[in-house]
Copies of this chain bind each other. A is one copy, B any other.
Amino acid sequence: MTQEQDHGRSTAAHGSRIDAYIDRYAARAAGMVASEVRALFAVASRPEVVSLAGGMPYVTALPLDSVGELVADLVARRGTVALQYGSGQGDAHLREQICEVMRLEGIEAGADDVVVTVGSQQALDLITRIFIDPGDVILAEGPSYVGALGTFSAYEASVVHVAMDDHGLVPEALAETIASLARQGRRIKFLYTIPNFQNPAGVTLNAARRRQVLDICHRAGVLVVEDNPYGLLGFDGEPMRALRADDPEGVVYLGSFSKTLAPGFRVGWALAPHAVRDKLVLAMESAVLSHSSFSQLAVGQYLATQPWREQIKTFRELYRERRDTMLAALEALMPAGCSWTRPAGGFFVWMTLPEGLDSKAILPRAVAERVAFVPGTGFYADGSGARNMRLSYCYPEPHRIREGVRRLAGVIEQELVIRDTFGTGSAPSHSGVDTPGPDVA
């Protein structure tokens, strides 16, 4: 028996190694490969590991008694509606309530222009489905949300990053990128932006720049997709005015109850110009027929009967304390040469390592030292981000955040010793799609 035959037999015996369909997938499936990072995150979910990787909201802060009562009441009063199919656009009353939530950010909109989706992730998927042919350009901040990049890649979009600084997207960079792409004859379909407490960078687009970004996109005929899951979770003063508030025809706004209530219902939405909304509803029906009536009515019941504004305030205070804890720990413990952003809301700090260090190479060592983070490369479509990592403070208790930062600082110090001895830190691991699972997105 030749070695090749033997190899063939042993993998067949294992059952799961040979993909009989390998030559039959669609072109878009080529990029659907799990990264080796995922295995590490499985380890990172052990209780002894402090995970600064996850983007999970701290749902323990919810009034579980009240939620239990309201879902029971929902089944008793409206069970046959909650358990039945609903409309593709979503429950009409919930859409009214969503308009009320958006009003907090200056948005005046009618329920008829809202489509309820399976989390704002699905809104992103449907918008991409409607607008993107393979090769079309999407502009996105660099870095940008890993889950959005995964979706854009699934539709074979070409993502072009636009520079960001501590005040968010840089308007001049946006204008230059658009002009340069126009010169190359490339078609820009939309700008994807997370203006508030950006995931992963933690920075916020300031008010002056919002006007500029809208103007630039309007002039260039570029649709703006405003993804705003964290907008109500600012630590200072009133929520910022949404981009959508000043340009109803030029912006598709994506919202979510995942961070202001709970992700477990998977209720998000898109607010879109009327014609786009029509297409979204048809795309929604083709994708899932309709969202869960039960989930939608439960969220509606929560908004109607619970002090939801107070609950958001509770979340804000809780996350503010954790942000403070993380920033203080970073300040006290991180070695010289590390820098990081200072978020005014949301869940994330974006750290930049000293020259010569590679965050993905460091991750296995960090997990061995019982701390996890998300390496920076997953947040770029172009391979950037090797010196970056996303640290989240939303889920661990403050004393665990301090301990996590302490462990991470120790790992980075060791890496610096290696770098100073051998001229480089740990070798980068081989590449792959750095999409962590949904629990850390």
A interface list, Cβ under 8 A from B = 15-16, 18-22, 24-29, 32-34, 56-57, 59-60, 62, 64-65, 67-69, 71-73, 75-76, 79-88, 118-119, 121-122, 125, 129-133, 136, 147, 150-151, 153-155, 189, 223, 249, 258, 262-266, 273-276, 278-279, 282-283, 285-295, 298, 435, 437-439, 441
Contacts and interface: CB of A to CB of B under 8 A. Distances in A.
Instruction: List 3 A-B pairs, minimum CB-CB distance, nearest first.
Output: A19-B275, A83-B264, A68-B75
Copies in the complex: 2
Given A21-B275, A67-B79, A283-B32, A122 B288 contact: yes
Contacts of A119: 288-289
A118 B288 contact: yes
Contact of A290 (B64, B151, B438): B438
Contact of A289 (B32, B283, B438): B438
A285 to B, nearest CB: 6
19 contacts: A18-B275, A26-B132, A26-B155, A32-B279, A32-B282, A59-B80, A59-B84, A62-B79, A65-B76, A71-B72, A83-B262, A83-B265, A118-B118, A118-B287, A125-B287, A264-B293, A264-B294, A265-B294, A266-B292
Contacts of A153: 286
A85 B264 contact: yes
Contacts of A125: 286-288
Nearest to A31: B282
Given A32-B130, A151-B286, 15 more contacts: A15-B274, A24-B223, A27-B133, A56-B85, A59-B80, A68-B72, A68-B73, A68-B79, A69-B72, A81-B264, A83-B264, A125-B288, A147-B286, A266-B289, A288-B288
Contacts of A64: 75-76, 79-80
Contact of A68 (B26, B76, B147): B76
A21 B276 contact: yes
B130 A279 contact: no
A395 B295 CA distance: 23
Given A119-B288, A278-B34, A438 B86 contact: yes
A122 B73 CA distance: 29
Given A29-B279, A130-B32, A131-B29, A289 B80 contact: no
A366 to B, nearest CB: 22
